[in-house]
Amino acid sequence: MKPSIYAVSAIAAAASLGMTAQAQEANIYVNGGYTQFDANNVDLGALTGRVGVGFGPHFGVEGEASFGVDDDGGIELDNQLGLFGFGKLPVTDQFELFARLGYSQLETSPGGDEDGWAYGVGGQFFFTAVDGVRADFTRHDFDNGGEVDAYSLSYVRKF
């Protein structure tokens, strides 16, 4: 088992601890949008989808997958996968801020696979009780010492 599998398992276990008491307030959401990845003067664009579960008003977990749609100088983003725990702060009934911490893997051609910790911040604005928009920034710190910044804008749908 790769060390990255241990890290993802630890994140998932930690995210679920202490949240079971709030499980009756669980809410599921999906979102989809565009992400711009910026690494060492290489800009790669991707379509990103996320699925998440919030436990009560402040905590949750989400998984994400991105697939490249815009290359740069012969470098292509094949995919990016990640698992995150998050904390959120409802500012109003329509707007919330969040921070997230997780583990991510990024695959490029040429280049190969990179994996490591990822962390970020963002906000969500809901124009109805279930429909909204999300903007976020995530820094991917890969095990080889490389860093990739990701900027996302997406539509959010709660269930």
Instruction: List b or e across 7-24, with b for residues whose CB sees 16 or more CB atoms inside 10 angstroms.
Output: bbeebbeebeeebeeeee
Question: What are the structural domains, with CATH classification, of the chain?
Answer: 3-19+29-158 (2.40.160.20)
Instruction: Print pLDDT tens along the chain (159 aa).
Output: 455 555 555 555 544 544 444 444 569 999 999 999 998 889 999 999 999 999 988 999 999 999 999 999 899 999 999 999 999 999 999 999 999 999 999 999 988 899 999 999 999 999 999 999 999 999 999 988 789 999 999 999 999
CA-based torsion, 7, 68, 135, 33: positive or negative: negative
pTM: 0.83
Q: Which residues, in sequence order, are bridge partners of residue 146? A: none
